[in-house]
Amino acid sequence: MAAELLKRSQAAAADTWAIEDLYGSVELFLEDAHRLEQMTEELKGFTKEYLTESGWRLLEYFQKLEKMVTMLDRALCYSERSADVDTGNDKYQALSGKMMGIYHKFSTVTAPVDAWIVAMEEEKIQQFYKETEELCKYKVTISDLRRLKEHTLSPELEELLASSREMGSAAEKTYSLLTDADFENPFVTDEKGEMVKVSSGRFVPMLESRDVNVRRETFQAYYGRYEQYKNTFAALYEGKAKANFFYAKARKYDSSMEAAVDANNVPKEVYYNLIEAVHENMHYMHEYMALRKKLMGLKELHMYDVYVPIVAEETGKITYAKAQEEIAEALQVLGEDYVRVLKEGFENRWIDKYENEGKRSGAYSAGCYSAHPYVLMNYQYNLDSEFTLAHEMGHALHSYYSAKHNNVFDSEYKIFVAEVASTCNEALLMDYLLKRTEDKKKKAYLINHFLQQFRTTLYRQTMFAEFELLTHQMAEEGKSLTAEALKKLYYDLNVQYYGPDVTVDQEIAIEWARIPHFYYNFYVYQYATSFAASMALSKKILEEGEPAVARYLNFLKGGCSKSPIELLKDAGVDMTAKEPIREALKTFGALIAEMEELSCQI
């Protein structure tokens, strides 16, 4: 009998997030959507002459904009969260489409205003601040706009670019619908001899099976489905890469990567430093693969063998309740208030817990300025899911603190720091679990999980970042991103990163097609940089105590009040240098040695 997923209508309310905290009904949502359409039209009354007349005029604009952005944020959150838990539901997809249309109209109307603000003389802006003290509330937002002055176009061109964004995001939306709603996942035989559908949420857990036949069949069947649509996936990815370059060129950047990192006020050298630092320390990854091959007793270590724990699982089935309890205990080091907010999220349905048919794959946290964060999970009762929950709640509390201590504009922290709080939670959870076990087998299992975090976050995400960089360079040079070209590049990178002790199976060449983050415009490198930063910060928290905790909480409260690099420096880590990455990789090397020593004792 095939193990089928529950339909969304069958999910228990206690296991779903409280979407009603945003709107009690669709009708109330539609009222706000209609009001937003009206307010967007009203914004057209803010002409260049009107806005630049005085500080009071500019203040009037930002006060109205603040109300709109707060309402828009809430309505977008409602429509997107509703659509993500039931991607096959046309009603929710229509709500999402409606809100995206309103958002793009809003962006089109505000784009020329941004350009006018950027074009104003600095002396005039400073005079406005002196004359209108209340305007200083929006100083960070105005300064961030003006920082990009050389990359801001005329108001007419800004409006044209903004109006094209909906069209420019078509590849991403199509990819999401294809993989989450229309994709026919294959069935494979599990350890019990039952036919199981390999969904995105089940794929990695099935690769953790102790049965090599289950791993191999899962790996081949799942990637075989992507192979069937390789040309479609290649066309979608090429479309996204070309769109990225179009917007980069329009804004006078030399490359898509440079445009993406500069939007977050991050120097492009940070991207290159990451790849270089990982290349300089590739031997640790190769050592880990050699140890994995040895401890698993395999003549050949295949790509479908790299997820299965080196030692037999010692943690057992981890219920959702147990995961919550352990996470709360582990994060006590961050203080009473942090744990209070964490438990508030656990107890008040911030989280959509389990997989259902048509639900978006993976996990994420989405902040909402006027409500509370929303966390999507597809919990699988294992250690990976426990760490994912800790990870996403790190995002959620970052959003919570940022919203509490900033206006709506400054609460939206830059993407570069977005993964720091999440991976710091994971590091603290790992420290908690390791310190509370004397059992050598369990300790070895946990260390292997930690090693896997290094493999999947520092190395694998850097490999993703390199793939994204190289493919965009190809597109920028006018080369076609065909399925075969993408597969060859991705395969060769896997050979380089995994080293001589791994048999790199041909199926892995299509893996790029199943990675949704490649549609997020140079997002993935930040997983690796954030992991390195969080390793440094968690070490300071555990060693220094209260002073480091205070700096860290101030970082969470910072929003985008400073550049992400400055916020991290204030917290105690400098990500413009290679040193945090090197230090994290040294820790990886030490853990490999500890794992090898433990393996001789169990």
pLDDT, tens only, 213-256:
999 999 999 999 999 999 999 999 999 999 999 999 999 999 99
Q: Which pairing describes strands 374-376 and 351-352: parallel, antiparallel, or unpaired? A: parallel
Task: Give the pLDDT score at 10.
Answer: 92
**Torsion over CA of 152, 155, 156 and 160, rounded to 10 degrees?**
60
Task: Give the pLDDT score at 1.
Answer: 34
Count the neighbouring beta carbons within 10 Å of the beta carbon of residue 366. 19
- Of the candidates 257, 216, 233, the residue with the CA atom closest to the CA atom of residue 484: 233
How far apart are alpha carbons 30 and 32 in whole angstroms?
5
* Cβ atoms 12, 78 nearer than 8 A: no
Task: Give the pLDDT score at 3.
Answer: 56
Cβ-defined contacts of 232-236 (< 8 Å, 24+): 232/178, 233/175, 233/483, 233/510, 233/512, 233/513, 234/481, 234/482, 234/483, 234/486, 234/513, 236/171, 236/174, 236/175, 236/178
- Of the candidates 70, 490, 583, 533, the residue with the CA atom closest to the CA atom of residue 266: 533
Note whether 9-168 and 235-348+382-602 share their fold.
no
Count the neighbouring beta carbons within 10 Å of the beta carbon of residue 172. 18
Q: How far is CA 326 from the centre of its chain?
A: 23
Task: Give the pLDDT score at 315.
Answer: 67
- Range list of H helices, 264-382: 268-280, 282-296, 320-330, 336-347
- Of the candidates 56, 51, 45, 165, the residue with the CA atom closest to the CA atom of residue 119: 51
CATH of 235-348+382-602, one of 3.80.30.10, 1.10.1370.20, 3.90.1150.10, 3.20.20.140: 1.10.1370.20
Domain range summary for the chain, segments of one domain joined by +: 9-168, 235-348+382-602
- Range list of H helices, 436-524: 440-453, 460-476, 483-498
Instruction: Tell me the CA distances in angstroms from 523 to 148, 260, 290, 515, 518, one per residue in order.
Output: 20, 9, 30, 12, 8
* Cβ atoms 233, 112 nearer than 8 A: no
Mean pLDDT by 10 residues, the chain (602 residues): 74 96 97 97 94 95 97 97 93 93 93 91 95 96 92 86 83 87 86 88 89 95 94 96 95 96 93 97 97 95 94 81 98 98 98 94 94 96 93 97 96 90 95 92 89 94 98 97 98 98 98 94 93 94 96 96 94 95 95 91 77
State the Cα angle at 556 between 552 and 558, rounded to 5°: 110
- Of the candidates 55, 42, 69, the residue with the CA atom closest to the CA atom of residue 139: 55
Our answer to whether residue 392 is catalytic in this structure is yes
Look at residue 301 and give its three-state secondary structure. strand
- Of the candidates 319, 325, 365, 368, the residue with the CA atom closest to the CA atom of residue 347: 325
The 10s digit of each residue's pLDDT in 140-162 is: 999 999 998 889 888 888 888 88
- Of the candidates 388, 528, 384, the residue with the CA atom closest to the CA atom of residue 468: 528
- Please identify which of the residues 158, 313, 386, 392 carries the catalytic annotation: 392
Instruction: Write down how long the chain is.
Output: 602
Element (H, E) at 366: strand 364-366
- Of the candidates 4, 85, 148, 2, the residue with the CA atom closest to the CA atom of residue 360: 85
Instruction: Tell me the CA distances in angstroms from 115 to 60, 120, 146, one per residue in order.
Output: 17, 9, 9
Supply 535's token pair: 């390793």
Instruction: Tell me the CA distances in angstroms from 373 to 71, 430, 526, 527, one per residue in order.
Output: 15, 24, 21, 20
Task: Output phi, psi for 300, to 5 deg.
Answer: -130, 130
Supply 249's token pair: 């060129």
How far apart are alpha carbons 287 and 283 in whole angstroms?
6
Fold of 9-168: Butyryl-CoA Dehydrogenase, subunit A; domain 3 (1.20.140)
Task: Output phi, psi for 153, to 5 deg.
Answer: -95, -175
Q: Which residues contact 97 (CB under 8 A, 6 or more apart)?
A: none
Residue with tokens 């091959």: 293
